[in-house]
Amino acid sequence: MEVVILGGRQAGKLAADAIEHLLRRKPDAVLGLATGSSPLPVYDELAARHERGLDFSRASAFALDEYVGLPAGHPESYREVVRREFTSRVNIAPGNVHGPDGSAADIPAACAAYEEAIAAAGGIDLQLLGVGTDGHIGFNEPGSSFTSRTRIKSLIEQTRRDNARFFGSLAEVPHHVLTQGLGTIMAARHVILLATGAQKAQAVSDFIEGPVAAVCPASILQFHPHATILLDEAAASALKLADFYRHTYDNKPAWQGL
């Protein structure tokens, strides 16, 4: 696990560098997309690079998760958020952008089909992640199985309250979601998790420096062979080894990249 502590929007640039590098090496790369606030600087940066010629025409993308029960086209459905914040701003083919189907009549079949679609695309090359204040990744709330695959989950009330800012009121935030499992996320070849702000400091210190435990789902990333964690100073403020992470990154050989 590589921990990088940066100021402001630099994290977005660094994650975009990794995605640009991947697309130049593998134009048909498979991207895993998070929603929420954390990845927005990455999407802004990628949209700017697309204007300067970065090509997404052969790439494909899979969303991490989706609310259950929001009508198609609801502005806060993750399919719509992914389209608005990212895929409509680059030249990725709309047919290559996938998300779990939160309005499916047969939810288990829709989840199995989503896993099959990821496998058929060759697996996810680079998965963007945020982390919840309770340590969730995707919508794998505390207690999620480390080997889980895409399935329905109930949101913890803390997560519903955190996400109420995107809705008119707390009552409008769905209780259920479909999410890639922790096993699905762990199968991505590279994961980049972004976290900013003091409200993430406890979860960040728990998953980076605490024990690997289902009560903190993001802690499973300690077992990932290629996990990059991009933090601002506030999100890093509870880390015991912050100076070591800074020193390591400042002295990293340039050829290594992320």
Q: Which of 74, 136, 190, 224 is catalytic?
A: 136
136 is catalytic: yes
- Stretch of residues binding ligand F6R (CB under 6 A), selected from 14-22, 30-38, 113-121, 228-236: 30-38
Question: In this structure, are residues 80 and 74 in contact, taking their beta carbons and an 8 Å threshold?
Answer: yes
List the one residue from 42, 64, 221, 236 that touches ligand F6R (CB under 6 A).
64
- Binding status of residue 181 toward ligand F6R by CB under 6 A: no
Beta carbons within 8 Å of 193's beta carbon, 6+ residues apart: 128, 129, 130, 131, 137, 218, 221, 227, 228, 229, 230
List the one residue from 18, 61, 126, 137 that touches ligand F6R (CB under 6 A).
137
Q: How far is the CB of 243 from ligand F6R (least distance, A)?
A: 26
Closest CA to 180 of 116, 90, 133: 116
- Binding status of residue 135 toward ligand F6R by CB under 6 A: no
| Binding flags for ligand F6R, 91-130, as an x/- string (CB under 6 A) | ---------------------------------------x
How many helices and strands in the chain, by DSSP H and E? 8, 10
Q: How many C-beta neighbours within 10 Å does residue 227 have?
A: 23
- Binding status of residue 85 toward ligand F6R by CB under 6 A: no
- Binding status of residue 19 toward ligand F6R by CB under 6 A: no
- Whole-angstrom Cα distance, residue 251 to residue 12? 21
Q: How far is the CB of 80 from ligand F6R (least distance, A)?
A: 13
- Whole-angstrom Cα distance, residue 129 to residue 229? 9
65 is catalytic: yes
CA 119, 215, 221, 97 torsion-angle sign? positive
Q: Which of 45, 66, 141, 206 is catalytic?
A: 141
206 is catalytic: no
The strands making up 151-154's β-sheet, listed across from edge to edge, are 65-67, 176-179, 151-154
44 is catalytic: no
Residues annotated as catalytic are: 65, 134, 136, 141
**Under the rule (CB under 6 A), what is the footprint of ligand F6R?**
34-38, 64-65, 130-132, 136-139
